[in-house]
Structure 1
Amino acid sequence: MEIISKTTLTSEDIQQLYKLYQDIGWFGHTLENIGVIYNASTHIFVAVHQQKIVGCARALSDGVFNAAIYDVIVHPHYQRQGIGKKLLHQLCDIFRSVSCIHLISTIGHTDFYESCGFKLLKTGMGIYQKESLAEAYLYH
């Protein structure tokens, strides 16, 4: 298993990432969306096993005050092997001089992020455009 920093993605990388999103059940991400979100990201790490992307994490950062981590995902067959933690630690290491690193967890995964040193925000807020996501993630 190798953790690799990516500055650009090949079409094969995007295909593999799309398949990974499908494999974890995130069906709302199209192949085109995957290309857009990763090409807009400032930092990308992938976990590669036998030339196959089995995990990934991406982030956006201004390099000084804020960094936002998105889409820390690992293929179901490779979960619970420390891959997600390694990906997250790679990003956090890059951002050690940034004032605030934040992320939004999916339902049921806050314990994982807490085990990596993240804490719940006192002032976090958000707007979800899709009603189903607003119902799932926002206090009412």
Structure 2
Amino acid sequence: MEIKIHHKFDSNKLDEICEVYQSAGWLKHSNEVITKVFQRSDIVTLAISDGRVIGVGRALTDGVFNAAIYDVVVHLGYQKNGIGSLILSDLLEQLKDVSCVHLISTTGNEEFYRKHGMKKLKTGMARYLNSCLTEEYLE
């Protein structure tokens, strides 16, 4: 399978991007939400096979000191084929000159990020408005 990487959000691919999120169980990612978060992202990675989006990733950054990676998601039908690694590697390459890159792993995917050089923070903190996420991610 040939994978092409694109670095620009394409609203014509919105339904395909939504399908990626929905297939992975990220049900709150409607077309409206996806448009908002991708338009506000500084860095976008879309994995495309046979003209269809099969994986996504995005990041916010000041371009010098800090960046945060969000939403490394691969369509359920394409998982376990190295596409997530391809997306994350591309994001990290685009952020190679940024001093600090943060991310919050979804539960159970921590080892995936460790394989790409990410490490646990000693002083990382967060707040969540959603009580379920508070229970899952905060001490």
More displaced, 1-10 or 13-22?
1-10
Aligned to 1:74: 74
Instruction: Give percent identity, aligned residues only.
Output: 41
Matches within 5 A, 1:24-63: 24-63=24-63
SS of 2:126's partner is coil
Aligned to 2:5: 4
Aligned to 1:129: 129
Q: What TM-score do the two structures reach when normalised by structure 2?
A: 0.94
Q: What TM-score do the two structures reach when normalised by structure 1?
A: 0.94
Aligned to 1:99: 99
In the TM superposition, what whole-angstrom CA distance separates every residue of 1:23-72 from its partner, at most 9, and x where no partner exists? 11111122100100001000101111111111010001100000100000
Query: Which AA in structure 1 matches 2:24?
Result: I
Deviation at 1:91, TM superposition (A): 1.0
State the distance in 2 between where 1:101 and 1:73 align. 18
SS of 2:54's partner is strand
State the distance in 2 between where 1:72 and 1:116 align. 13
Which structure 1 segments of 5+ residues have no match?
none
Deviation at 1:78, TM superposition (A): 1.1
SS of 2:80's partner is coil
SS of 2:89's partner is helix
State the distance in 1 between where 2:4 and 2:121 align. 29
The 8 Å contact of residues 3 and 45 in structure 1, kept in 2 or not, is answered as no
Q: How many residues align?
A: 138
Which structure 2 segments of 5+ residues have no match?
none
Aligned to 2:120: 120
> Which aligned runs of 4 or more in structure 1 are off by greater than 6 angstroms?
none
The 8 Å contact of residues 44 and 57 in structure 2, kept in 1 or not, is answered as yes
